[in-house]
Structure 1
Amino acid sequence: MSAQLLVLAKTPVPGRVKTRLCPPCTPEQAAEIAAAALADTLTTVTATPGVRRRLVVEGDHPAPPGWGRTAQRGTTLGQRLAHGYADTRIAGVASLLIGMDTPQVSAGLLAAAVERLDDDAADAVLGLAEDGGWWALGLRDPAHGQAIRDVPMSTPDTGARTLAVLRARGLRVAQLPALRDVDTWADAQAVAALCTADSRFALAVATVLSPVGAP
């Protein structure tokens, strides 16, 4: 089975992205952090071998060369996720969806997740986030994305609820390594420390956040 990697993202517009970084950041600084996180994520996905790539985006941010692009639909995050799977579904192709909040993710980790979707022992892969949410969800059949439409997102039990609704459909779910995603200033510092030396996110944290100082 082939696979496609979906990146769910918002166009980095001041006042509309990473608002929990404000303060200490200004809206403009928070948008720079978001833009750097998205850029690192797109670079990593581009470097992941053997997959199709599609940006599922809110706003006018362009997709990288060689990528597909799909506009987000829906009011709630759960709806946008469910539509993201449905609107990009290709028969016989698994979908692995990640966001733009884990710029430390590696191409090796994504490739391993895709390999798990090729394993007959798993129908889905789920990467939990340290805050109780999740950073990645892969489905052998993207039609099952409808299962998460009504799952409350951005709560301490989002990951557990997502796992429960997938298992309620009879899916065999393999779990990926847990990652920390970027919501707060403390997250930004911690994740920047995990990034590679050439990370745009780490540079943005150093040059934009550091002068502001800790709250």
Structure 2
Amino acid sequence: MTTLIMLAKECVPGKVKTRLSPPLSLTAAAEVAAACIDITADAVDRFGWTRKVLCLDGTRLPRDFTGWDIVAQSDGDLDERIAAVLDACAGPTVLIGMDSPQLDRGVLNLLSTEWPDDCDAWFGPAADGGFWALGLREPVGDLVRGVPMSRADTGAIQLERLRAAGLRTTLLPVLRDIDTVADLDAAAQLLPGTLLAEFADRAGAAVRAGVSTGDVVTDFADCASLADRAEAS
């Protein structure tokens, strides 16, 4: 069995998903972040884990996390925060982010069960050059500590770090983080009927109604009003 860690930020306007604004407001962008966490946590809850850990930057929870251990992220840069929570775990451990809620349920099923004998690590690359998942049979923070984060070569450096340590590493599918409106649209195509899809649809309607990139969509009420304008034109 495997410990699952989700790394997340509290969904405070101006702190999360700021690249979605404009055309979304900072408040709406925070709602998108909360939806990402909710969808990801719901997917995780469908499978059996030794332990589920929410490693949170902040204190406000966007949903009920009954059955999860909630721990605060440590101080320091992102590599240090990831390293610290890995060092606090024992046995097979997988860390995922909150930014890729379109992750395949089959992948979660694979990660939550017994790992193949020939796999020491799982690595999920992100389309922007980072990574969305890191699994270690023996969680050791030094495998991440010192890797430069939020760069186009972050994933390549991290993968090389695993391989240089002699870990037999299995690649997971490439996923696209939700950072921009284009990312939101792409994820919405894979998640019909979700809050993310609704935001993408209504924001798209707002753009078709003539909202410039200098304007913002503040909330769902504004989105609905603009959508009505688009349909009437």
- Number of the residue aligned with 2:86: 85
Are 2:209 and 1:210 equivalent residues in the alignment? no
Q: What is the percent sequence identity of the aligned residues?
A: 42
- Number of the residue aligned with 1:38: 37
Are 2:157 and 1:156 equivalent residues in the alignment? no
- Number of the residue aligned with 2:227: none
Residue identity opposite 1:65 in structure 2: T
Are 2:164 and 1:168 equivalent residues in the alignment? yes
Gaps of 5+ in 1: none
CA distance change for structure 1 residues 60 and 201 in 2, over 3 Å: closer, same or farther? same
Shift of 1:86: 1.6
CA distance in 1, matches of 2:118, 2:156: 21
Kept after mapping to 2: 8 A contact 1:98/1:136: yes
Shift of 1:149: 1.5
**Greater fraction of residues in strand:** 1
Gaps of 5+ in 2: 214-233
Kept after mapping to 2: 8 A contact 1:97/1:137: yes
Q: What secondary structure is seen at the aligned counterpart in 2 of 1:57?
A: strand
CA distance in 1, matches of 2:60, 2:3: 20
TM-score, with length taken from structure 2: 0.83
Residue identity opposite 2:93 in structure 1: S
Are 2:5 and 1:10 equivalent residues in the alignment? no
CA distance in 2, matches of 1:50, 1:151: 28
TM-score, with length taken from structure 1: 0.90
Number of residue pairs the alignment of both structures matches: 207
- Number of the residue aligned with 1:141: 138
- Number of the residue aligned with 2:23: 24
Q: What secondary structure is seen at the aligned counterpart in 1 of 2:186?
A: helix
CA distance in 2, matches of 1:74, 1:150: 14
Paired residues for 1:123-134 under 5 Å: 123-134=120-131
Q: Deviations 1:7-40 (Å, cap 9, x if unpaired)?
A: 0000000000011111111111110111111111
Shift of 1:138: 0.4
Match of 1:187 among 180, 183, 188: 183
CA distance in 2, matches of 1:33, 1:122: 34
Q: What secondary structure is seen at the aligned counterpart in 2 of 1:210?
A: helix
Residue identity opposite 2:198 in structure 1: L
Kept after mapping to 2: 8 A contact 1:40/1:200: no
